[in-house]
Structure 1
Amino acid sequence: MKSIITTAVVALSSLVLLTEAHISFRYPCPRLGPYAECPQPNDSQWDLVDYDVQSPLGTHDQITDPICKHSFSFAGVRPVFTAGQTIQAKMDVNVNHNGGSCQWALSYDNGSNWVVIQDQFQNCLASAPADSTYTLPIKIPANAPTGNNVVLNWIWNNNEGNRELYSSCADIVIQGTSGGSLSGVVPLYANYGPSSPYIPEKAVSGGNWGQAYFAARKNITITVPAQKIKRQIVPLN
């Protein structure tokens, strides 16, 4: 009976997502995501499933959610990626807003510090069909330290429509060098509340897509203590 109920709820989630949806991770799984391939909630956690996982975090006028939306994932085995590996990330796309600028960042301390590992400016997701699962490659840096509790963050500022910020966080494991550091820049969180940088619609701004803000991102180096990969990886909650 439980498996039937679970299947029905997950199937219903796909319909619910379409009522107010844009874009999110599908793989790696977003925190508390409703997808069947994601870690499933236990019997007392079904009210925590985020059926609005594709929605933006806010606009330039207001913040509606924190950067990762949620501070934990449902318990389950996290995907393990190797330093230097290219992940074929799957994005759940409702509408693409004529593309925009994407950043991908890693955190080894549950979001206290982030370092950007990849950018795609202006045309990110521009060719993603509506209501599709679209693949985007993400390369884990070859010098990425080993981490059992790493968070991968996708951040997107859209070209068209409301001035919004989108983000998805996925809990992952990285198999790399035990201990070390990772350097880059901190992410830009634009169109995320009145005090954040404002990026206008590209088509009506003379081509301004926020390039000056992205160029001004601050440098950061994060240092990760030595650790070994655990056999069974259970997300923090």
Structure 2
Amino acid sequence: MQIKSTWAFVLFAMVRSHVFVGKPAPFHWDSQVTKLIMPLNGDPNYQGPGWGQQPFPCKGYHRDVTYHKAYATWYTGSTVTFQIYDSTNTTGASMHEPGAAHSGGSCQASFSYDNGETWIVVQSWEGNCVRVRKGQEGKLTNSYDINQSYSFDIPDSLPGGDAVIFAWTWLNSSGNREFYMSCSPIRLIAARSLTKIPSGYPMYIANLQEDPETPDSQHPIWSRCYVPQNVWIRYPPRYKGINPPIVADPLPESSQIRYLDLGDDGGLCGSDNKERSIFKVPLLEHVQASFESSGLLIFHNIMHLTALLASLNVLAATPSTKMLNSMPSS
């Protein structure tokens, strides 16, 4: 019994020690931390609506207008810093040990000016993101480094905006194939730029099922937008971002992790590829879960019907789409 209890405690700590952006404050910052740290792939440790694959982008949290107040003001042309938290809600030395660093990986910082419809990558970190404990780079490890603050320059060519979304996305190296995304509302003030229309590189998306109800192997997009285990990826040029990527130190020959240069995919894995099902069907699951949690079970069959229409590529033409997307989150 003691062994079982001890293992349960270790498992409890491990499944709750993934990460999210704690500063600037994310959408749904006061939600269950298990929801904040959950990858877009969902959390198999929980059952029921709301725990399966999450909608891209931002798990749908950005659609909740009650969380649109920006808790941070950033300026173009300046250097800004964000911090990674885990389920302890703290960064650095207070994070779980060993935690779930997944041997690092690669990550990106992006902005959206149109409530998540399009994304512009500003900065990529290629390798050791999140940072593993010093001395364990290149090893299979779940130990975090005490420094989980990440800084980057905001180009002064970008426009400002009062309702900009900052997103941090992470492709972990070891463990389950997952895609993490944490989003925060910010106010961005343009110091010099007079442009009103932002332009840049789309976000790279991988390790998400094309359709959660269908085996991965049946999806060509899944097979091409997939990062194997135990690698630190170098993003294809079309996704690297406005700034030059921040590249981790070279790995020793004895390393258990290796760098992987991703080839060009023709835009298949980009955030601007709206033909991917991950931009459609999973959102309905998210909305359905919100309705069901409020006791409005009458929408259950409507959701199944709408998902069917989506699979026939007629969803965009149906009057119900606008209604569903305009409903406030509960």
TM-score, length-normalised on structure 1?
Answer: 0.68
Asked whether the 8 Å contact 2:73–2:188 carries over to 1, the reply is yes
Cα distance in 2 for partners of 1:172, 1:124 equals 22
Q: 1:201 aligns with which of 229, 252, 255?
A: 229
Q: What is the match of residue 196 of structure 2? A: 180
Query: What is the correspondence of 1:1-237 to structure 2 with a 5 Å cutoff?
Result: 20-34=16-30, 49-52=31-34, 53-58=36-41, 63-69=53-59, 70=61, 71-72=63-64, 74=67, 76-93=69-86, 94-127=99-132, 130=144, 134-176=148-190, 177-193=193-209, 194=216, 195-196=221-222, 197-202=225-230, 207=258, 209=260, 211-212=262-263
CA shift for structure 1 position 28: 0.7
What amino acid is aligned across from residue 20 of structure 1 in structure 2? R
CA shift for structure 1 position 145: 0.5
CA shift for structure 1 position 104: 1.1
Q: Which has the higher helix share?
A: 2
CA distance 1:172–1:155, change in 2 (3 Å): same
Cα distance in 1 for partners of 2:74, 2:119 equals 18
CA distance 1:18–1:200, change in 2 (3 Å): closer
The structure with the largest alpha-carbon Rg is: 2
CA shift for structure 1 position 90: 0.8
> Which of 1 and 2 has higher RCO (CA within 8 Å, sep 6+)?
1
Cα distance in 1 for partners of 2:104, 2:266 equals 19
Q: Which runs of 5+ in 1 are unaligned?
A: 1-15, 35-48, 221-235
CA shift for structure 1 position 209: 3.6
Deviations 1:60-99 (A, max 9, x none): x973343202123536453111101211111014421111
Aligned residues: 192
SS in 2 for 1:84: coil
Cα distance in 2 for partners of 1:92, 1:67 equals 20
Query: Which region of structure 1 is more displaced relative to structure 2, 189-198 or 206-215?
Result: 206-215
Cα distance in 2 for partners of 1:144, 1:17 equals 41
Cα distance in 2 for partners of 1:157, 1:199 equals 8
Deviations 1:116-171 (A, max 9, x none): 11101122223365396721113222111010000011110001100000010000
